[in-house]
Every structure is written in structure tokens, then in C-alpha cells.
Chain A
Amino acid sequence: MTTVPEVPAVEALDERPVRHGLLRYAATKAGGALLSIAMVIVATFFLFRLLPGDPVRALAQGRNMTPEQLDLERARLGLDKPIPEQFLHFVSQTLRLDLGVSYEYKRPVLDLIGERIGSTLLLTGTALVMAVSLGLWQGARAGWKPGSRFDKISTAISLVLWSVPTFWLGLLLLMVFAAGIGPIPGIFPTRGSSSVDKPAGFAGVLDVGEHMVLPCLTLVAVVYAQYLLVMRSSVIDEVGQDYITTARAKGLRDDEVRRKHAVPNALLPTVTLVFLRIGFVVGGAVTVEAIFSWPGLGQLFYQAIRVPDFTLMQGTFLLITVSVIVMNTLADVVYHLLDPRVRSA
């Protein structure tokens, strides 16, 4: 009898600090993230100035330029000023969300990113969703009965795909499914995100879809393994737990125990992984975009490195790092929200 009034009291005691704790936790994490971002901004500036190569000469691309013209270019790019001044300028610009003007395209970096970000999000977003769903589903099934034939095959396939170089796999898919080999006809396009004479309306959507198949497949193949493996080991951990035995003892169907009890708990460790990947999704997949000439941020970054176009590299690099930091922070907070064990720790 005495325990009955105590229960709400305990809950109240438990609840309040948790809510406050969450806020405080989120604030601390956000603070940490801001600090990281500040450090990234500083690092970006110096990192790209340490790289070899004189951007002005590189821009000239072997054309003859008189010293006067080179000086003019230097002045235009602000490279004639002392490093501390360049640094202050860079920081104040970045804080105002101005990423500068691309050396080579002579246009604001932010505009160039804006033009490309859509197709990157489309490709990597779709791939992420597919990789996550496939990886988690297959991982859960594999982990539920470790050692089974399904488990052995899934683990083997994922490990092979995980270790295959992306570039090689992409080229292989391109050779087989775009060019066609033997009895396999070449059906998919060799490049880009749409045909030059892209039809309007739904046929246009289909056109983009058909261009997306190979790059998307490559991305899914290389990233889904990590979800599979994490989910698998996480489910294996859960299988031994008492609550699973209890659920089985209640007479629930095996299938139901897995789906309703084991999987939800096993999902937790994958949260961080999913969020981290979202961070990378913004940056695109440099290799995959380069193989399939996919006009996204990854391709932009790849081309910027080849010039080298410092402002463009700086801008895309900043965007990618900042989104990874932000997503990482979000992952921490969401995790905190989802998992009571982290809260009490």
C-alpha cells in the first residue's frame, strides 16, 4: 500500500531532471558543434593555403600571361594581400554566409552549390533510403538466426561489397549495364542525370529515374553493408536478452517477437550511423558522381580539385564538414531522447 503513492513521486522526480537534462544536453552539444564549426572555418582557410599549386598560374591553364596580368588576377582574387588580412576577410565573409567567388567559373560559390545540391540530394538521398532499409531489414533477419544460410550469404555479400573499391564497382556496372556484355543488352544511360532531350512531365521523371539506376545502385552497394553489419550484431545482442525469452514464453510468434520486440531495441545503435550518413549525403559521393558524370556537389568538388579552384574547394569542403557536424550533433540529441540508458549515464 505504501508503495502506491510513491510511484508517481518517483516518476515526477525522474521526469523533471530528464527534460531539463535534455535541454542542457542539447545546449552543450550545440555549443560543442559551434566550436567545431569555428575550428573548421579556421582550418579550412589554412588547409587550402598549404596545398601545393599557385591558383593563378593554374587558372591560366598554360596560356601565356604577362606578370602584369598575373598581378591583376591576384588582386582580383585578393591573393595580393597579407595572409592575416586574407584570413580576416575570409572569416567575416563566411560568417555572412558568403563563400566567395569561384576562381574558374567567376561566379559566387554559393550559386554554384545551389545549382548542384538538388541533384546530389536526389541521388544520395534515394541511395541512403534504399541502403538503410535494405541494410536494416537484411541485418535484422541475419542477426536473428546467426549462422543460418541467410546470415552467411548476407554477411558474405555485404563484406565483399564493403571492401570493393567504389570506382571499380561503378565502372563494372557501367561496362555491364550501360554498354552491355554478351547476352546482357546495354540499357542504362552512360552519364548525367537526364537526357539532353528530356521529355516533359512524367516521362521526364522516368528519364531521371533511368539515369539514376546505376549511380544509385553503386552507392547502395557500397554503403548498405555497414547498416547490415551493425544491425546484425545489434540484433544478436538482443536475442540473448531476458525480455525476448519472456516474449517467447508468452507464446508470441517468433516473427512477431523479432519485429515488435527485438528490432525496435536493436535499431538504436544505427541511429548515429544514419544521421552521420545524412551529413555525408550533402557532400555527395565524389567517386560515384565522377564515374557517372552526375552533376552534383561531388562532381563540382572533384573538378575544383583538378584546377585547383581554391574558393570553390573551400566552399564545398565547408558545406560538407558543417553538415556532418550538424548531423552528428543531431544524432547525439536524438539518441539521448530515444535511449534512456544514455540519459541516466
Chain B
Amino acid sequence: MRKLLAVLAALCLLAAGPGTAVAAQPGQKKVIKIGVTQSVDSMNPFLAVRLVTGSIQRMIYGFLTVPDSKTLQPSPDLAESWTTSPDGLTWTFKIRQAKWSDGQPITADDAAWTFNKMMTDDGAKTGNGPAVENFQSVSANGQELTIKLKTPQASMLDNPVPIMPKHVWEKIKEISKYDGETYPTVGSGPYVAVEHKKGQFVRLEANPDYWRGRPKIDELQIIFYDNPAASIVGLKKGDIDLIGRLNPPDFESLKGDGNIVQWNTQGRRATYLQINHGATTSDNKPIGDGHPALKDPRVRTALHYAIDKQKLVDEVQNGLARPADGSIIPPLYKDFFWEASGAEKVTFDLAKANKILDDAGYKKGPDGVRTMPDGSRKLQFRFSIHTDTPIEEKLAEYLTGWFKEIGITLTTKRLDSSKFTEETGTTALFDIAISGWSVNPDPEEVLGTHLCSRRPTATGEGGGTESFYCDPTYESLYLQQQKELDRTKRADIIKKMEERLYVDAPVIALYYPNDLEGYRKDRIAKITPIPEDKGLLYGGSGYWPFYTLEAVSTDAKAGGGSNAGVIAGVAAGIVVLALGGFFLAWRRRSASDERE
């Protein structure tokens, strides 16, 4: 035993040697580490679907356009300029004279190859398939890219497809089976991926040939945490320098740490209630088991009046949100944001809610619960939330309390996320459900989730609806905005759509959660949010914050500190153990000696 301990201690001392040597290496390289709570699914952009992978692609590859850092409007990226034919069907992009990270020139042919690959190869559709659905044909001529559309599409400039280098990717025989794990990657964005350790991290190095100029830091590390609590510990300890998408309690736990900047700004999400107002399939047949009372717009409006949104913001979101008096596009997108005013505006008013229900004939029974006008059913609704989400639990408590005041019983139904998606999006086995959406700078996608065509098919499949909504007024407005290439005019139409959703209330917007992030000011000297005035960092659109990032000079306190500390700690621990073991062995020996 003693021998073993001695060997261990010796090993430990030996180990301390090279370990400290490594720690003492001068930290010349400027490295910034970002903590994320989602791992990369695939480094092949044709296949990847996860959010984190999308953010990484934004840094590695160029796109036709990027959101402008001030206005969030589409601005030049790989496409320097563009024109549209009067009928809105032909788009011509002029591709920038720039280089791939391997030195080859970027041409329109690369873009044409990327889009054509997605249009012709089913295997390449997985990641961004819907983006090319409206494409009739794509062709290239030198630096000129021509895209012909089937129908006009105003959101054309918000194209989410990364442009891939043809000369590298055309050699890959089967896109659907290629993992994209070849390093360094060949791209045209500000960074080049140099290493991916699965389930652990992705390392990106500055692209010296980037057309805007080389980023100011040398290396960006995207580090994966399976456990959000551990990522907060990691930020406090300095294992990571920045973390986004925090929930209010985690964000508040960063308070008081002198090294950490709490970033609290307008978010790009809206939280709303989805109401089963008579779900139907795309051939208008009823589906699901929604409560019949919810088909009545008056009941939905009464529910709306019974919600104190300010209280939800204060007590469910810890004040870190803005109450919603409008629709599903958050105020971050100034151009498209619409807010109710005047008589149209629904404010918290239980008496009014009760009156609406009284007038509509929903009488209260002796137990205080209302019944349908024909007496057939009580107004008892289910509220579907996700399992293990404390915020939604809390929300449910508040809603249950208010709805009780207006004679409506609400029972909470907890579902795991896949069952939740199925019941609220396909089978319609719900009454009221929690919902929310991250909105892109071009809001077309989120508006599209309320179209008739997004309802499930007759066989009960697919779709992608957020409300089972199907309304002719909304539908025609959607088609109008799709054709409207004038941004201001388009925004007006979009606001009408939001108003329609607000008044008809198939969904009730509750609040817009803030974007909550945190970063270490002893590591990050400067970071520009997007949009620049008061925008987002990691959670934003595009690579802007990570391109403009400036690191604190690393010469003074190069990362080694923790490593040396660990080694000292381990050594101390082993010495203590060894001493303890020695003491025990000695005692045992003396005890047995006594016995003899």
C-alpha cells in the first residue's frame, strides 16, 4: 500500500513538470470561447438542421445577402448588388470578386451549383430545402447569377442557403452521406473551421482572405455544454467568455460578478397562446378534440381580456420581457412590428371578460363554472405545456387563477416536446397550448405558419401550422405581401395580417422575452450587437458580433492559471491521501503488533 502511494506521489510530481511548462506558454493567440447548449449535428450544410450549426455556418460561409448591422434589412454579402425584373420573377445577382479560403476565385457558378444541387438532389434538400422550392431555374454567367422564380417572392433576399465552393463539393459523390468533416473547411466567411470534436467543440480560425478583412481575433471556439447550469459555472469561472440564450434565473445568477457583463436587450421571440379554435385539415375536415366553446371568437376575446400580461412579465419572466399588445412579430423588428391601440386594444379587465361571456350566453353554474349556451359542456379547458419547463408551469398557474375568475377551469397537461409538437401541430388534441417562435429579420416564415396550406393533410400528416388557422382575409394579405417588393408597402400589408390575428385571436400574444446573454469583460474588450444600437450578441442574425469582436490582450493573464491551479490541487490532494494512507497503515501495523 505504501509503495503504491509512493509511486502515485512520484507520478504526480513528474506530471506537474510538463503540465506547468504548458501552462507557462505565452498566450499570444487571441481566443474567444462561446458556450452553447446544443451540439453540432452535421458539418455538412446541406444536411444540418440544428440552430447552433446554422450559426456556425454563418461564420464559415458567405450567403447572397446578410441582414444589415444597423437596419437588419438585406444588405450585400457575396452578392454585391442585385436587380429584379418588373414581374418580380427574375432576380439577377452580381457576385463579388473575392476568394475562397483556399485561394480560388468565387464565381456565380459556385452559387448556381449550390442551388441546383439542392433543386435536383433530394439528399441535399434536408438542411434548407424549402428555400429553393419556389425556384424555377438558376444559371450563372461569370459573376452574374440569375434566379428565375415560379411565383414572386418578396422574402427572396433573406435566402438562408450558404454558398458552397463548387470545386470542392462537386467531387463528393453522395451529399446525403457526407459528414463534411474535412479541415480546414473551404469557405468565404470571416472564419474557417479547423477542428470539430464531436459533442465537445468546434474551433474556427480567422480567415485572412475574408473580403471585409481579417477578423480581429485569431480563434473562436464554440464549446458545447450538455448542462446549462454547468455553462453558467463555466462563464463565472472563465472556461468560456460568452453565453447566449439564458433563461431569467440563470441570467440573474450572474448579477454581482464584476467580471461579467449582463446583456439584456430586446429579443427576437414572441411567446403566445395557441388556441384550438376548431382545427381542420387542409381539406377543411375537423380534426382533433378541441373544446367547442373555443370556436366562438367571443370566448377567445374574453380569455384575452382575462390575462394580465404585465403581471406575467413581472412574475413569470422576472421582468425581463415586454408585454405584448400586438402580434407575433417582436418590436425588435421595427419595420414590421404592429401594436394595437384605441378601442381595439385588449387590456386586462376581468369584469369585461365576464360580461362578454354573460352576453354570449355562457351561464355560470352553481359551482361557478360556465357552461355552453346549450348546456352541453362546461367551460373546462386543457392547457398543454412542455414537461420540465418551470416557466411554463408558473405561467399555467397564473392563467388558471384568472380564468377561474371568469368561470373557466383550466387544467395543465404536460407533454414531452415531440408529443407536444404532434398534438398541437398535427393531431389537434388540445384546447390551449403554449407557443412561441423565433422571428427572422424577414418575418415571412412565421406569418406563413398561419396559412391554410400549413394545416395537416387529409391523412393527418405534416404541415407546419402554428394555429390551424385558415382565414381568407389573412390568406389574401399573405399573397399580397409576397408580391410586394416595396419594403414600406409590404410592411403595411404585414401589419394588417398581424392585426387580423390579434382581432380574430387564434393566437394570443403574451409577451416578448428579452434576449439574455452574458460575457466576460476581462476577455472581451468590444463586441457590436446586431442591430448595432441595442441588439443581440450570439442570439442575433448573422456573424456581425463575432466579426467585430475584440479580445482583451491576452499577454497579461494567459489562460494557464487554471491548469497550474489544477495540478497544484491534484498534487495536494494526492499528498493528503498518501499521508492519510500512511497513517492508516502505520496504525494498523502497530495495532496488530500489539495483538501479537
Q: Residues of A at under 8 Å CB distance from B?
A: 52-67, 69-73, 76, 104-107, 115-116, 171, 174-175, 178-180, 185-194, 196-197, 199, 201-203, 206-207, 209-210, 213, 253-255, 289-293, 295, 299-300, 302-303, 306-308
Q: Would you give the shortest CB distance from A299 to chain B, in whole angstroms?
A: 6
Task: State which of B22, B223, B449, B566 has its C-beta within 8 Å of the C-beta of A196.
Answer: B223
Let me know if B469 is at the binding interface, CB within 8 A: no
Let me know if B422 is at the binding interface, CB within 8 A: yes
Most B CB contacts (10 A, CB to CB) among A53, A70, A116 go to: A53
CA distance A180 to B257 in the complex (A): 14
Residues of A within 8 A of B376 (CB): none
CA distance A117 to B200 in the complex (A): 15
Report whether A254 and B237 are in contact in the complex, using a CB–CB cutoff of 8 Å.
no
Report whether B201 and A203 are in contact in the complex, using a CB–CB cutoff of 8 Å.
no
CA distance A207 to B563 in the complex (A): 8
Let me know if B179 is at the binding interface, CB within 8 A: yes
Let me know if B197 is at the binding interface, CB within 8 A: yes
CA distance A202 to B16 in the complex (A): 10
Residues of B within 8 A of A308 (CB): 418
Let me know if B557 is at the binding interface, CB within 8 A: no
Interface readout for B421-446 with A: 1 if CB under 8 Å, 0 if not?
A: 11001100000000001000000010
Residues of B within 8 A of A188 (CB): 566, 569
Report whether A54 and B176 are in contact in the complex, using a CB–CB cutoff of 8 Å.
no
Q: Which of B42-50, B56-64, B345-353, B475-483 contacts A (4 or more CB under 8 A)?
A: B42-50
Residues of B within 8 A of A53 (CB): 416, 418-419, 421-422
CA distance A116 to B462 in the complex (A): 34
Residues of A within 8 A of B418 (CB): 52-55, 57-58, 307-308
Report whether B464 and A254 are in contact in the complex, using a CB–CB cutoff of 8 Å.
no
Q: Would you give the shortest CB distance from A165 to chain B, in whole angstroms?
A: 14
Report whether A105 and B230 are in contact in the complex, using a CB–CB cutoff of 8 Å.
no
Report whether B22 and A291 are in contact in the complex, using a CB–CB cutoff of 8 Å.
no
Let me know if B311 is at the binding interface, CB within 8 A: no
24 of the cross-chain contacts (CB-CB < 8 Å) are: A52-B422, A54-B421, A55-B418, A65-B464, A66-B133, A73-B126, A76-B122, A106-B179, A174-B229, A174-B233, A178-B233, A180-B237, A185-B565, A186-B233, A188-B566, A192-B200, A199-B22, A203-B19, A254-B592, A254-B595, A291-B230, A292-B230, A293-B227, A307-B418
Known interface pairs A54-B418, A67-B462, A253-B592; A187-B565 also in contact (CB < 8 Å) = yes
Residues of B within 8 A of A185 (CB): 565, 569
Report whether B570 and A196 are in contact in the complex, using a CB–CB cutoff of 8 Å.
no
Residues of B within 8 A of A207 (CB): 563
Q: Which B residue sits closest to A73, measured CB to CB? A: B126
Task: State which of A52, A58, A106 has its C-beta within 8 Å of the C-beta of B42.
Answer: A106
CA distance A193 to B201 in the complex (A): 11
Interface readout for B190-225 with A: 1 if CB under 8 Å, 0 if not?
A: 000000011111010000000000000000010111
Report whether A64 and B464 are in contact in the complex, using a CB–CB cutoff of 8 Å.
yes
Report whether B226 and A299 are in contact in the complex, using a CB–CB cutoff of 8 Å.
yes
Residues of A within 8 A of B268 (CB): none
Task: State which of A171, A186, A196 has its C-beta within 8 Å of the C-beta of B237.
Answer: A186
CA distance A253 to B419 in the complex (A): 66
Report whether A303 and B234 are in contact in the complex, using a CB–CB cutoff of 8 Å.
no
Task: State which of B199, B448, B449 has its C-beta within 8 Å of the C-beta of A299.
Answer: B199
CA distance A9 to B246 in the complex (A): 79
Let me know if B129 is at the binding interface, CB within 8 A: yes
Task: State which of B15, B49, B225, B234 has its C-beta within 8 Å of the C-beta of A63.
Answer: B49
Q: Would you give the shortest CB distance from B127 to chain A, in whole angstroms?
A: 10
CA distance A255 to B41 in the complex (A): 57
CA distance A202 to B445 in the complex (A): 52
Let me know if B33 is at the binding interface, CB within 8 A: yes
Task: State which of B203, B223, B422, B567 has its C-beta within 8 Å of the C-beta of A206.
Answer: B567
Q: Would you give the shortest CB distance from A215 to chain B, in whole angstroms?
A: 11
Report whether A253 and B596 are in contact in the complex, using a CB–CB cutoff of 8 Å.
yes
Let me know if B463 is at the binding interface, CB within 8 A: yes
CA distance A303 to B176 in the complex (A): 21
Q: Would you give the shortest CB distance from A307 to chain B, in whole angstroms?
A: 8
Report whether B130 and A179 are in contact in the complex, using a CB–CB cutoff of 8 Å.
no
Let me know if B454 is at the binding interface, CB within 8 A: yes
Task: State which of A57, A69, A116, A171 has its C-beta within 8 Å of the C-beta of B130.
Answer: A69
Q: Which B residue sits closest to A293, measured CB to CB? A: B226
Beyond A107-B179, A190-B230, A199-B22: 8 further Cβ-contacts under 8 Å? A52-B416, A57-B425, A65-B129, A72-B125, A104-B41, A180-B237, A187-B562, A191-B226
Q: Which A residue sits closest to B198, measured CB to CB? A: A115
Residues of A within 8 A of B457 (CB): 67
Q: Residues of B at under 8 Å CB distance from A?
A: 15, 18-19, 21-22, 31, 33, 39, 41-42, 44, 47, 49-50, 122, 125-126, 129-130, 133, 176-177, 179, 197-201, 203, 221, 223-227, 229-231, 233-234, 236-237, 239, 416-419, 421-422, 425-426, 437, 445, 448-449, 454, 457, 461-464, 559, 562-563, 565-567, 569-570, 588, 592, 595-596
Residues of B within 8 A of A201 (CB): 18
Residues of B within 8 A of A191 (CB): 223-227, 230-231, 234, 239
Report whether B18 and A202 are in contact in the complex, using a CB–CB cutoff of 8 Å.
yes
Q: Which A residue sits closest to B129, measured CB to CB? A: A69
Residues of A within 8 A of B464 (CB): 60, 62-65
Residues of B within 8 A of A203 (CB): 18-19, 21-22
Known interface pairs A53-B416, A67-B461, A254-B592; A196-B233 also in contact (CB < 8 Å) = no
CA distance A318 to B50 in the complex (A): 26
Residues of B within 8 A of A67 (CB): 457, 461-463
Report whether B237 and A61 are in contact in the complex, using a CB–CB cutoff of 8 Å.
no
Report whether B445 and A190 are in contact in the complex, using a CB–CB cutoff of 8 Å.
no
Report whether B230 and A293 are in contact in the complex, using a CB–CB cutoff of 8 Å.
yes
Q: Would you give the shortest CB distance from A208 to chain B, in whole angstroms?
A: 12
CA distance A316 to B379 in the complex (A): 46
Residues of B within 8 A of A306 (CB): 417
Report whether A187 and B199 are in contact in the complex, using a CB–CB cutoff of 8 Å.
no
Q: Which B residue sits closest to A170, measured CB to CB? A: B227
Q: Would you give the shortest CB distance from B364 to chain A, in whole angstroms?
A: 36
CA distance A203 to B31 in the complex (A): 21
Residues of A within 8 A of B462 (CB): 56-57, 65-67, 70-71
Q: Which B residue sits closest to A187, measured CB to CB? A: B569
CA distance A17 to B87 in the complex (A): 93
Known interface pairs A210-B566, A300-B199; A179-B227 also in contact (CB < 8 Å) = no
CA distance A178 to B569 in the complex (A): 12
Task: State which of B47, B417, B566 has its C-beta within 8 Å of the C-beta of A187.
Answer: B566
Report whether B200 and A295 are in contact in the complex, using a CB–CB cutoff of 8 Å.
yes
Known interface pairs A192-B201, A196-B203, A302-B226; A105-B42 also in contact (CB < 8 Å) = yes
CA distance A66 to B464 in the complex (A): 8
Residues of B within 8 A of A180 (CB): 237
Report whether B39 and A292 are in contact in the complex, using a CB–CB cutoff of 8 Å.
no
Task: State which of B22, B230, B421, B454 has its C-beta within 8 Å of the C-beta of A174.
Answer: B230
Residues of A within 8 A of B416 (CB): 52-53
Residues of A within 8 A of B44 (CB): 106
Report whether B125 and A69 are in contact in the complex, using a CB–CB cutoff of 8 Å.
yes
CA distance A189 to B238 in the complex (A): 10
Most B CB contacts (10 A, CB to CB) among A64, A192, A197, A303 go to: A64
Q: Which B residue sits closest to A307, measured CB to CB? A: B418
Known interface pairs A60-B464, A175-B233; A190-B125 also in contact (CB < 8 Å) = no
Residues of A within 8 A of B197 (CB): 194, 295
Report whether A255 and B592 are in contact in the complex, using a CB–CB cutoff of 8 Å.
yes
Q: Which B residue sits closest to A67, measured CB to CB? A: B462
Report whether B49 and A59 are in contact in the complex, using a CB–CB cutoff of 8 Å.
yes
Q: Would you give the shortest CB distance from A318 to chain B, in whole angstroms?
A: 20
Residues of B within 8 A of A289 (CB): 226
Q: Which A residue sits closest to B33, measured CB to CB? A: A196
Known interface pairs A64-B130, A72-B122, A179-B237; A54-B422 also in contact (CB < 8 Å) = yes
Report whether A64 and B18 are in contact in the complex, using a CB–CB cutoff of 8 Å.
no
Report whether B201 and A196 are in contact in the complex, using a CB–CB cutoff of 8 Å.
yes
In the A-B complex, the 9 residue pairs with the smallest Cβ-Cβ separation, listed nearest first, are A53-B418, A295-B199, A70-B462, A190-B234, A293-B226, A64-B464, A52-B419, A187-B569, A179-B233
Report whether A116 and B199 are in contact in the complex, using a CB–CB cutoff of 8 Å.
yes
